Amino acid sequence: MSGITGKIVAITGASSGIGRATALLLATRGAKLALGARRTDRLEALRETIEAAGGEAVCLTTDVRRREDLAALVRLACERHGRLDVLVSNAGIGPISGFDALRVEDWDAMIDVNVRGVLHGIAAALPIFRRQESGHFVNVISTAGLKIVPNMGVYAATKNAVRTITEALRQEAGSKLRVTGVSPGFVRTDFAESIADPAIRASIASRMDDLAISPDAIAEAIAFAIGQPANVDVGDIVIRPTAQD
């Protein structure tokens, strides 16, 4: 199946930022969506917005740290539509800090959400894709792993772990499945809200004000990859502001 119309797409981290923008865009192009996120109220509001515009979506409160939550989201898509065509693993967090701050709980949280969350999605969707002999993994990564800078050591490490996972999965996928990694740069999201250090939070917020591009730009990149013919695999997309180093 090429194009987007009629494809069944599950998205994690769908309640805001890149996930929300991707859901809205794919819905306008005819995809049928299964939306997952932790913030149930925002998730329900997004579903209502999509349906009010004539789209089709279901949603489920989903914490990607819990393998059973990802399994439930994939199951919901399959029960509603009989299959799953695409899993967009977008959920991620970035409570960044310098190593001297010893915010070990934040390190653990980033590993759990950013890395284990992607693996839980693969575990949920891969058996479905194998049975169908079709399917597409889209993993949202980050340019933070391409250029290492202070205060982002653990965050970048989690994103580079996902980069490695994505490439290995692509090589193992065979001729029937597709695997895409999308690495956004500075994007106008609520990324800075989870940062505890006031100076780092202010610095990130300032750079975001100066440089950030809309989440809609990342959604367009994701839609481009999904919309290619079944025998075309877009392996990597890096999308950043023109002014970003």
Contact 239, 183 (CB under 8 A): yes
CA distances from 227 to 65, 111, 174, 188 (A): 29, 31, 19, 24
In our burial notation (b when 16+ CB lie closer than 10 A, e otherwise), range 82-102 reads: ebbbbbbbbbbbbbbbeeeee
| CA 183/CA 100 separation, integer angstroms | 27
Residues noted as catalytic: 155
187: phi then psi, degrees, rounded to nearest 5: -125, 145
Count of positions (residues) in the chain: 245
Q: 3-class SS at 235?
A: coil
DSSP string covering 155-213? HHHHHHHHHHHHHHHHHHH-SSEEEEEEEE-SBSSSGGGG---HHHHHHHHHHHHHHPB
The strand order across the sheet containing 236-239 reads: 56-61, 32-37, 8-11, 86-89, 135-140, 177-184, 236-239
Q: Sign of the C-alpha dihedral, residues 212, 214, 217, 222?
A: positive
